[in-house]
A and B are shown apart, each in its own frame.
Chain A
């Protein structure tokens, strides 16, 4: 297990405090003091799970803009997949051809893998079942409701072509 580092605690503390202020939306001294106490306790206990490597990665404006750009890409993919799923459902759920494909991915870091597989799961029609590593190459097992290509590379291009480019810009 990782050791607790000061920079990781500070980054987690700032994030918790921002969320606290957004949720309570009150700036009296008592509320802010309670927020500082709760955020500090959370940060001390959970920073070693939450922040690995460079803790202040996201205080870099370039990364924030690439994350915003990625969310635009992701939203357009999301709308396309939702429209397809609505067509299948309102057509009577007949056109399903489910299968689990094994897709190679170029992502290396844990955060990149997590963001990519979360995005894939959040798109209707695909769910990431598992991540496995073989000889330094990471693979995703993806349940796909309408299998259009059985080989790993072609399926990967169809499922995560534009998503993966965006995630790589954010995390590596």
Chain B
């Protein structure tokens, strides 16, 4: 029984690390700021969720401390609630200040620019 939980924890950590790595490579390789932010959203979603579920299982089954398990759950929820607000404001700011980074990559369609730049 314990060995099955241990295996589950390891699998969850590997899956979380896989998606966090995808987000990091995306931040480095995507062409402009908005696409980079899209790729980086992989990190706080499946990366954080999988690794914190692994942490909760470890704290509950091996350390036997409900206290640490609940704290990890609260931390994961806080990241999930606050991250989209930050992404939204950074994306809007980068767009409005015209600092997207890649001039030759056209947005198609660009309804936001059409409605607010005239």
B105 cross-chain contacts in A, Cβ below 8 A: 98
Q: Is the CB of B111 within 8 A of A143?
A: no
Q: Is the CB of B74 within 8 A of A128?
A: no
Question: What does the 1/0 interface line of B14-53 toward A look like (CB < 8 Å)?
Answer: 0000110011011001111011011101101110010000
Q: Is the CB of B31 within 8 A of A129?
A: no
Q: Is the CB of A92 within 8 A of B29?
A: yes
Asked if B88 CB lies within 8 Å of chain A CBs, one says yes
Asked if B80 CB lies within 8 Å of chain A CBs, one says yes
A93 cross-chain contacts in B, Cβ below 8 A: 26, 29-31, 35, 39
Closest Cβ of chain B to A148, distance in Å, is 12
Whether A96 touches B31, Cβ cut-off 8 Å, given contacts A124-B42, A129-B112, is yes
Asked if B118 CB lies within 8 Å of chain A CBs, one says no
Q: Is the CB of B107 within 8 A of A127?
A: no
CB nearest to B47 among chain A residues: A82
Dominant SS among interface residues on chain B: helix
Q: Is the CB of A90 within 8 A of B22?
A: yes
Q: Is the CB of B112 within 8 A of A98?
A: no
A92 cross-chain contacts in B, Cβ below 8 A: 29
Closest Cβ of chain B to A18, distance in Å, is 10
Whether A121 touches B26, Cβ cut-off 8 Å, given contacts A86-B18, A99-B110, A100-B107, is no
Q: Is the CB of B18 within 8 A of A100?
A: no
**How far, in angstroms, from A164 to B37 measured CA to CA in the complex?**
23
Q: Is the CB of B25 within 8 A of A90?
A: yes
- Interface set, chain A 131-148, CB cutoff 8 A to B: 132, 141, 143, 145, 147
A47 cross-chain contacts in B, Cβ below 8 A: none
**How far, in angstroms, from A13 to B50 measured CA to CA in the complex?**
31
| Residues of B bordering A, CB below 8 Å | 18-19, 22-23, 25-26, 29-32, 34-35, 37-39, 41-42, 44-46, 49, 66-67, 70-71, 74, 80-81, 83-85, 87-88, 91-92, 95, 105, 107-113, 115
